[in-house]
């Protein structure tokens, strides 16, 4: 039977099988008529279901229930079984739902097509819903293309995850893993801000102003962030940012940590660790980072490896129009110097300047304490 004949059969709706779907997805259940011959020859799951006791005999038709598949998704699947076509005009969410249903029905032949469509046509949707999608694909072993793509982002560009629209849905274990990374291209104060945002959302604190928080609110936040805070590199946060953005949350810090941080920011005994200028990590070398990732030099060899990249983050204009990765032939590293001795002044909180001396005013400014990303 050719596709045209099968399409005519689908339109006639006189099949000998009734499939009821949508009961578990907050929808009014809907019944679809289909032909057992088509279902058994085109779908492995239906071949098994129709040959065993899974199907319930009705008066005139066999009844099968798929309550966890939505009506719109099953309609698309049913059309594919009859006509062999799945439109690429669907939204990213619809394609993901089709992919999940296809996995349940063992329609392995369309896995690659649907995953490729998501990556090529719905890249922005995947970025904005990173953790929603990531949580789903981890539960489906056959979604290998998506799994490899998401793992590549986590390994090579973990900072992207912090700017996903559903960042607060990130699993805590993954968050802790990211905070420990050396290749997280963000200023430390931005990492702190995102951590606080994640903590407030996941501890269900509803008061928007910290001045209105009570002891219980701070206890909630401290409890959920307890394993995360130790991975924040507070010595990479400026004294100014520490005072205005970290100090208000001092109740979630241990007494020893508070004492160490106050000493660090109010004495001249600390020096910037110049070894962090080019930091070695398991993924290679991470060199100078301009802004909050506006220009990132990374890789074992900047000149031969096309591993450097740009993205518009903290600068008013993008450094480059292209977002493609590139190599760097030559670059200049500014001089690193010790902090100057503090000037004794009659002020309640000393203000410390940048620990760097730039050789020229044309260099872009760097983010974070000392200016480097992680």
- Give the end of a domain, one of 85, 116, 141: 85
Tell me how far the alpha carbon of residue 349 is from its chain's centroid: 38
The per-residue pLDDT for 284 is: 39
* DSSP β-bridge partners for residue 17: 34, 62
Bridge partners of 339, per DSSP, are none
What digits encode the pLDDT tens for the residues 191-227? 999 999 999 999 999 999 999 999 999 999 999 999 9
CATH number for the domain spanning 28: value is 3.30.710.10
pLDDT at 113: 94
- pLDDT average, residue stretch 263-276: 56
pLDDT at 105 over 90: yes
**Sheet strand arrangement including 30-34:** 30-34, 17-21, 62-66, 56-57
CA–CA dist 232, 226 (Å, integer): 11
259 and 304 inside one domain:
no
Distance, first Cα to last Cα, the chain: 62
Top pLDDT among 88 and 66 is at: 66
Note whether 288 and 366 are within 8 A (CB): yes
**How confident is the model at residue 267, as a pLDDT?**
76
pLDDT classification of 253: cutoffs 50, 70, 90: very high
Residue 60: predicted pLDDT: 65
What's the total number of domains in the chain?
Answer: 3
Position 181 scores a pLDDT of: 85
Residue among 319, 268, 255 at smallest CA distance from 293: 319
- Tell me how far apart the 2 most distant CA atoms of the chain are, in Å: 94
Range of the domain at 237: 184-271
Q: Counting Cβ atoms within 10 Å, is residue 240 exposed (0-12), middle (13-18) or buried (19+)? A: middle
- Residue 87: predicted pLDDT: 85
Give residues with Cβ within 8 angstroms of 10, minimum separation 6: 34, 78, 79, 82, 83
Retrieve residue 373's tokens. 């990303």
Distance between CA atoms of residues 354 and 112, nearest Å: 51
255 and 294 assigned to the same domain: no
Tell me, yes or no, whether 226 lies in a domain: yes
pLDDT band at 344 (very low <50, low <70, confident <90, very high): very low
Higher-pLDDT residue of 153 and 301 is 153
- 130 part of a folded domain: no
Lowest mean pLDDT among 177-181, 197-201, 281-285, 317-321: 281-285
Q: Are both 266 and 278 inside the same structural domain?
A: no
- Reported as a single tens digit per residue, the pLDDT across 44-84 is 999 998 886 555 555 567 889 999 999 999 999 999 999 88
Reported as a pLDDT band with limits 50, 70 and 90, residue 5 is: low
C-beta of residue 288 within 8 angstroms of C-beta of residue 265? no
Asked whether residue 340 carries a pLDDT value surpassing 60, the answer given is: no
| Sequential DSSP letters for 243-295 | IIIIGGGGGGS-HHHHHHHHHHHHSS-----GGGGSEEETTEEEEEEEBTTTE
Q: What is the mean pLDDT of residues 8-33?
A: 83
Whether residues 209 and 263 share a domain: the answer is yes
Strand 62-66 and strand 17-21: pairing?
parallel
Strands 295-298, 284-290: pairing is antiparallel
pTM of the predicted structure, to 2 decimals = 0.64
Last-in-domain residue among 271, 297, 312:
271
Let me know whether 188 and 252 are in one domain: yes
Going by C-alpha positions, the residue among 51, 93, 60 that lies closest to residue 76 is 93
Give the domain-ending residue among 271, 295, 310: 271
Which band of pLDDT confidence, cut at 50, 70 and 90, is reported for residue 282?
very low
Same domain for 313 and 288: yes
Whether residue 171 is contained in a domain is answered as no
- Is residue 253, in this structure, part of any structural domain at all? yes
Spatial distance between the Cα atoms of 249 and 346, rounded to a whole number of angstroms:
26
Range with the poorest average pLDDT among 29-38, 111-120, 224-233, 281-290 = 281-290
Of 131, 142, 132, 130, the residue nearest 105 (C-alpha) = 142
Mean pLDDT for all residues in the chain: 79
- Best CA proximity match to 252, nearest among 227, 283, 289: 227
**Are 285 and 223 members of one domain?**
no
Which of 368, 198, 144 minimizes the C-alpha distance to 272? 368
Residue 27 inside a domain? The answer is yes
> In Å, how far from its chain's centre is CA 125?
11
Q: What is the pLDDT of residue 275?
A: 35
Mean pLDDT in residue range 228-252: 92
Rg, Å, the chain Cα set: 28
pLDDT at 279: 32
* Residue 231 and residue 290 in one domain: no
pLDDT at 170 over 60: yes
Mean pLDDT of the region 285-307? 65
pLDDT (average), residues 358-373: 32
Residue 237, pLDDT > 50, answer yes
**Within this chain, do residues 260 and 305 fall inside the same structural domain, yes or no?**
no
Higher local confidence (pLDDT), 57 or 358: 57
- Does one domain contain both 1 and 78? yes
Does 205 share its domain with 281? no
CA distances to 25, 40, 119, 209 from 253, rounded to whole Å, are 43, 62, 41, 19
Report phi then psi at 295, rounded to 5.
-140, 120
> From CA 111, how far away is CA 220, in angstroms rounded?
42
Q: What percent of the chain has pLDDT over 70?
A: 73
pLDDT value, residue 7: 66
Query: pLDDT for 118-151, tens place per residue?
Result: 999 999 999 899 999 999 999 999 999 999 999 9
Distance between CA 240 and CA 187 in Å, rounded? 14
Please state, for a pLDDT cut of 90, what percent of the chain lies above it.
Answer: 46
Same domain, 240 and 283: no
273-285 mean pLDDT: 36
Q: Say which range, 101-110, 206-215, 259-268, 287-296, has the weakest mean pLDDT.
A: 287-296
Asked if residue 341 belongs to a domain, the reply is no
pLDDT at 119: 95
pLDDT at 53: 59
- Please tell me what DSSP assigns to residue 242: I
């Amino acid at each position: 039977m050719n596709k045209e004949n099968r399409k005519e059969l689908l339109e006639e709706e006189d099949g000998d099988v009734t499939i009821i779907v949508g009961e578990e997805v907050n929808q009014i259940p809907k019944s679809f008529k289909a032909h057992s011959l088509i279902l058994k020859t085109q779908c492995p799951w239906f071949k098994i279901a129709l040959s065993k006791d899974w199907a319930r005999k009705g008066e005139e038709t066999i009844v099968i229930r798929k309550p966890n598949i939505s009506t719109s998704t099953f309609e698309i699947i049913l059309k594919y079984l009859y006509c062999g076509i799945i439109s690429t005009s669907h939204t990213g969410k619809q394609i993901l739902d089709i992919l999940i249903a296809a996995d349940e029905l063992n329609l392995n032949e369309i896995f690659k097509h649907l995953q490729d469509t998501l990556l090529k046509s719905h890249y922005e949707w995947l970025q904005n819903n990173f953790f929603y999608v990531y949580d789903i694909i981890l539960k489906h072993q056959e979604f290998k293309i998506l799994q490899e793509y998401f793992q590549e982002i986590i390994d090579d560009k973990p900072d992207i995850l912090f700017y996903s629209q559903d960042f607060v849905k990130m699993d805590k274990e993954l968050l802790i893993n990211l905070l420990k990374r050396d290749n997280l291209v963000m200023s430390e104060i931005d990492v702190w801000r995102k951590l606080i945002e994640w903590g407030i959302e996941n501890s269900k604190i509803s008061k928007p102003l910290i001045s209105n928080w009570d002891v219980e609110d701070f206890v909630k936040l401290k409890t959920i962030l307890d394993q995360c805070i130790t991975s924040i590199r507070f010595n990479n946060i400026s004294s100014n940012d520490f005072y205005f953005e970290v100090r208000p949350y001092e109740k979630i810090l241990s007494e020893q940590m508070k004492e160490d941080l106050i000493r660090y920011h109010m004495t001249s005994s600390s020096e910037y660790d110049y070894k962090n200028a080019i930091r070695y990590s398991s993924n290679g070398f991470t060199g100078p980072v301009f802004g909050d990732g506006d220009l990132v030099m990374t890789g074992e060899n900047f000149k031969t490896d096309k591993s450097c990249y740009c993205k518009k983050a903290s600068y008013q204009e993008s450094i480059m129009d292209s977002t493609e990765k590139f190599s760097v032939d030559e670059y200049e590293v500014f001089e690193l110097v010790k902090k100057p001795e503090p000037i004794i002044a009659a002020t309640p909180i000393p203000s410390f300047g940048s620990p760097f001396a730039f050789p020229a005013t044309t260099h872009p400014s760097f983010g974070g304490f000392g200016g480097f990303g992680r």
